[in-house]
Structure 1
Amino acid sequence: MGMNAFVRFTAAWFFLIFHGPYVRPDLFEMFDVEAVHVDVDLNRVANRVNERFLSVAIDASLVAEEKFMYLLASAKLKTLSSALSPGFLRFGGTKQDFMKFNPRSYHLQHPRNSHPFVGDTCKRMELPPLLEENLKKEWALQSLFLQQEERKGKYKKVGFTEYAVDLLYSFANCTGLDLIFGLNALLRTKGNSWNSHNAQMLLDYCESRQYKMSWELGNEPNSYQKKAGFRVDGYQLGEDFVHLRRILSESKLYKSSGLYGPDVSQPRDHRRDLLEGFLESGAEAINACTWHHYYVNGRDTSLEDFLDPDVLDTLATKTHEVLETVDMVSPGKKVWLGETSSAYGGGALGLSDTFAAGFMWLDKLGLGAKLGLDVLVRQVLIGSGTYHLVDDNLDPLPDYWLSVLYKRLVGPEVLHATVLSTLEPGRRLRVYCHCTSKRSTSYKRGAVTLFALNLSKNTAKIYLPSHLANSTAEAFVLEAPRPGEQGLLSRSVKLNGLVLKMVDDQTLPELKGVPLHAGEPLSLPGFSFAFYVLTEAHASACQ
């Protein structure tokens, strides 16, 4: 150690002795450690989100060939999805506006009030292993074809039958997820209003089977000109939703069902005007206003974008624009991210399904709740593209494990947490705090879950305020399986040093935290993220 380094080491050592844990961050630079102070208000709930805040989508592209819907009968996929309950399951996306219900008439003779999915049906409807393997191989090829279709911007119309609806509803029912079905809004009359005839046939069938679900109408209507060659203005779109709500109100089963929309893209150019027009005519028809958000274009992004705090901050800018629009036209209306992930255009190849994607996903969960969004629907659980939670072999990817831990540890009550630094270390450490989920029986009332992501290569030492510093804690630290850039691009993840993988097709591994000594700062390695359950926080907001 040179003389200058020795002097710095001695200064840091004396400072620790005489000043306790509140250490100047610059004293740690030589050790590749950054000290950051965090304050948390335990006395009030800053915001409260839906208990199904983290929700997921199945891309409608799965029904482009109906046989692939049988993947939803996979015991493995059902096991993985059950761990994400409670949540909404959105069936929609670009392909929904090119789908048409083509029923086989004899199926419509089912008596009303029949209940096809009761008892042990979930077990009986499991996919035979050989058929599952063949479907997965074929789906890998189908997924490539669908991505080519997306790039060309020319979409083939498809039909689906009762079998697809049965499989979808069975999957949602057996996994504890609440189904939202996206209807085709591009079925239009000569006057350019929505033609509801096909939707009415589907509703009649679903009601005959007593399928309880919610509904959407159309996907990203601001892009209809590009995808279908004509426009639907916002006011007309609102009228279409009013028409659908009227149809639902005439149904005994669906008169109180949820209706969500208009699923517009994030504000850009004329899109805000479309949302305003929609709300002026259709706000009363919907239960929540939905919009879509992606950070970057999947075709020209980079690893640096996924780790850039400026890129992550763009979510706040877009969210404020949408919230202002909704508050101006329909104050009090809930706002959802009805579809969201890292990169649009099907995701970023080699990035959106890797460990690196977790930084965008965890920050979106934390920031979205803090800003006041009520639900986030992750694109996609399974479907075409590269931003899915499970791969083509139905094996869980890093963002899946992150999502499961969030479900288990993070409650709907948002607490105000602040990083007390405007310097670079503070910008690269992003921290959020909620009451610990009450669904977890392992922790007492009053426990809080602090979750953080470290966008720096250096380890962060997180110093908590005095009223939290002596709380016992458990750490759930997620890291890439190996150091360096290649580790960040891995499709696996370590929890507290152990690579996560399923025990078998119907069993998840035990996701255990590591106890921390009371009074010690929280240590977060470089380029990692973590959940810390402060078990003795005694937060009055969480009692």
Structure 2
Amino acid sequence: MKSAATAVSTIVALALFGSLCVGAKTVISVDDVQSIRVDLDLFRVARRVDERFLSVAIDASLLAQEKFMNLLNSPKLRTLAKALIPAFLRFGGTKQDFMKFNPRGRYFQARDNSSSAVQGKLCERLELPPFLENRLKQEWVLQSKTLLQEELEGKYKKTKFSEYAVDLLYAFANCSGLDLIFGLNALLRTSENTWNSTNAELLLKYCESRQYVMSWELGNEPNSYEKKAGIRVDGYQLGQDFVHLHQILQESVVYHSTGLYGPDVSQPRDHRKDLLTGFLETGAKAITACTWHHYYVNGRDTSLEDFLDPEVLDTLATKINEIVESVSPGKKVWLGETSSAYGGGAVGLSDTFVAGFMWLDKLGLAAELGLDVVIRQVLIGSGTYHLVDDNLDPLPDYWLSLLYKKLVGPEVLKAQVLMNSGPKKPIRLYLHCTNRKSTHYRPGAVTLFALNLNKNEVTISLPAHTANSTIEAFVLQSAETGEQSLYSRSVELNGQVLRMVDDRTLPPLKGRELPPGERLKLPGFSFAFYVLIEAQAPVCK
């Protein structure tokens, strides 16, 4: 793992010469440079990630009042979620450690039948009527403000939830095809400050009786418990708590081989990893993957410039390497919660077009540096970093995520830029095999995705060995022009504004075919996916 840290030092040194290459990612200073040349390695897979690499979260704040869980029965939200599979759905966040299962002894739905026909009818029956959906959406806007105030004051109200909420959550995941991960409350403690599992066992027993297939987490950002709840839990104890939960799951007929993920620590600060180190000493054997959280900036004092600053984007590499070198080899590492800005996001930025630069670069860099899954905060919930707006219509980062799912496969390849140095802003490039589940492309196709954080258009010349490949280009730009373009909440794909056709139908995401040998034109302040259809990469067949 020491070599990873050395590599980061080398990267910093290279940056002084205006050129930076980190595996599949390449950063180039191009303020005055209009053209770059790229070399692509089509013969070696650098890494492989989980097919559910891009996953999503529902913030547990949705459960602050149980009625809002009914929003998960929206046909529109189901349509949007289903389009992102395969993916995990994490239900968790700060509020999970202030929630308690309070069964009422009533069942929301009849016991599920496993046949797809019956399941399909159940999903139809659970759909939310339009009048109720509209009322809940209006009330949720007010609820979000209340939750934001709670976050600002750091005073978190305790919440109880019933079987009804669990049924709604599971139905959403199941009807959408997402793999549910449920976050349990770790702040239920005994007098000896060990985890009190009584309430979790009650919930597990209920889910087991319903045959709900799901995985589990315990606690959210335990390093902030003292600040949020006046309770301190050290890493060694937290590890023992996970071992305790693992033993409970082992004894379950339904959950004995289920996933258990944790400890969901926030990102390392000032090189302190004490809690994670202690946790791994006692709890590593209990977890399926090690999870941590990452945000680039504080949502309350960030700026547009931060979202376009390559130095801000590069801080992720340092954080990843710090975490990965802490975790024993062979144990998978996940970004268990992540977005642009912490504190609920940055108002006017985290839900606009400019947020896509942080999101797409994070996906590229995380895959390249060995993270197996990245869970986006949040599909729906409080804050301003969500993928859908108050009307449940998709925001720019949703469309970006959808294109990523469609075009990018789990095999990470390497791209390198060949050019002279320049003074300022970067282009960032990543290369993967094309998603093989996309029947539109032949085996051996590769997908190059690129970000232009500069206002000037840049031309990309591909190597000679790919010159005969037809290219399909998917260029995403703001739907607005002028100074306000980066603040837009709409996005264009190859010049066409992306909108749902109706509540159950997404538009076709069509690329623009470029003739073989044509250089790629990446407009200023844009990102793009380029599928090299006839690349014939041996490792992608």
Is TM-score (shorter-chain normalized) higher than 0.5? yes
Residue in 2 aligned with 1:61?
61
Residue in 2 aligned with 1:83?
83
The answer on whether the counterparts of 2:413 and 2:433 sit within 8 Å (CA) in structure 1 is yes
TM-superposed CA distance for 1:424, in Å, is: 4.2
Amino acid at match of 1:36: I
Q: TM-score, with normalisation over the residues of structure 1?
A: 0.92
Residue in 1 aligned with 2:516?
518
Q: Which runs of 4 or more aligned residues in structure 1 lie more than 6 Å from their structure 2 counterparts after TM superposition?
A: 108-117
The answer on whether the counterparts of 1:48 and 1:412 sit within 8 Å (CA) in structure 2 is yes
Amino acid at match of 2:366: G
Partners of 1:199 and 1:100 lie apart in 2 by 8
Q: How does 1:33-182 map onto structure 2 within 5 Å?
A: 34-107=34-107, 118-182=119-183
Partner SS for 1:406: helix
Residue in 2 aligned with 1:505?
503
TM-superposed CA distance for 1:426, in Å, is: 8.5
Amino acid at match of 2:70: Y
Is 1:265 the counterpart of 2:266 in the alignment?
yes
Residue in 2 aligned with 1:376?
374
- 5+ residue gaps in structure 2? 1-27
Partner SS for 1:362: helix
Partners of 2:249 and 2:70 lie apart in 1 by 29
The structure whose Rg is larger is 1
CA change 1:168–1:112 in 2 (3 A) is: closer
CA change 1:403–1:177 in 2 (3 A) is: same
The answer on whether the counterparts of 2:225 and 2:231 sit within 8 Å (CA) in structure 1 is yes
Partner SS for 2:335: strand
TM-superposed CA distance for 1:271, in Å, is: 4.7
The answer on whether the counterparts of 2:352 and 2:395 sit within 8 Å (CA) in structure 1 is yes
* Cα distance per residue 1:410-443 (max 9 Å; x no partner): 0000001122347347861000000000110000
TM-superposed CA distance for 1:482, in Å, is: 2.2
TM-superposed CA distance for 1:485, in Å, is: 3.0
Is 1:191 the counterpart of 2:189 in the alignment?
no
Residue in 1 aligned with 2:18?
none
Residue in 1 aligned with 2:354?
356
CA change 1:305–1:188 in 2 (3 A) is: same
* Cα distance per residue 1:336-395 (max 9 Å; x no partner): 000000000000000000000000000000000000000000000000000000011100
Say how many residue pairs are matched: 513
Residue in 2 aligned with 1:5?
none
CA change 1:495–1:36 in 2 (3 A) is: same
* Cα distance per residue 1:271-315 (max 9 Å; x no partner): 511101000000010000000000000000000000000000000
TM-superposed CA distance for 1:209, in Å, is: 0.3
Residue in 1 aligned with 2:322?
321
The answer on whether the counterparts of 1:185 and 1:194 sit within 8 Å (CA) in structure 2 is yes
Partners of 1:111 and 1:311 lie apart in 2 by 50
* Cα distance per residue 1:95-138 (max 9 Å; x no partner): 00000000012449987998997241111110000000000000
Partner SS for 2:484: helix
Give the alignment partner of residue 474 of structure 1, picking from 465, 472, 475: 472
Partner SS for 2:273: helix
208-217 vs 101-110, which moves further: 101-110
Residue in 2 aligned with 1:540?
538
Partners of 1:108 and 1:524 lie apart in 2 by 52
Percentage identity across paired residues of the two chains: 73
- 5+ residue gaps in structure 1? 1-24
The CA RMSD measured in Å over matched residues stands at 1.9
Amino acid at match of 1:250: E
Partners of 1:113 and 1:122 lie apart in 2 by 12
Residue in 1 aligned with 2:304?
303
Amino acid at match of 2:43: N
TM-superposed CA distance for 1:268, in Å, is: 1.2
Amino acid at match of 2:410: P
CA change 1:273–1:421 in 2 (3 A) is: farther
Give the alignment partner of residue 446 of structure 1, picking from 427, 444, 454: 444
Partners of 1:112 and 1:490 lie apart in 2 by 43
The answer on whether the counterparts of 2:101 and 2:161 sit within 8 Å (CA) in structure 1 is yes
Amino acid at match of 1:391: D
Residue in 2 aligned with 1:391?
389
Amino acid at match of 1:423: S
Partners of 2:523 and 2:486 lie apart in 1 by 13
The answer on whether the counterparts of 1:49 and 1:413 sit within 8 Å (CA) in structure 2 is yes
* Cα distance per residue 1:454-503 (max 9 Å; x no partner): 00000011111111133110000000112233011000000000110000
Give the alignment partner of residue 421 of structure 2, picking from 420, 423, 427: 423
* Cα distance per residue 1:298-337 (max 9 Å; x no partner): 00000000000000000000000000111xxx22100000
Partners of 1:471 and 1:114 lie apart in 2 by 45
Higher relative contact order (CA 8 A, sep 6+): 2
Partner SS for 1:485: coil
The answer on whether the counterparts of 2:367 and 2:412 sit within 8 Å (CA) in structure 1 is yes
Partner SS for 1:293: strand
CA change 1:484–1:428 in 2 (3 A) is: farther
Residue in 2 aligned with 1:15?
none
205-214 vs 419-428, which moves further: 419-428
The answer on whether the counterparts of 2:113 and 2:119 sit within 8 Å (CA) in structure 1 is no
Partner SS for 2:339: strand
The answer on whether the counterparts of 2:33 and 2:422 sit within 8 Å (CA) in structure 1 is no
Partners of 1:421 and 1:63 lie apart in 2 by 52
Partner SS for 2:483: helix
Residue in 1 aligned with 2:14?
none
TM-superposed CA distance for 1:267, in Å, is: 0.5
Partners of 2:533 and 2:336 lie apart in 1 by 33
Q: TM-score, with normalisation over the residues of structure 2?
A: 0.92
Is 1:337 the counterpart of 2:338 in the alignment?
no
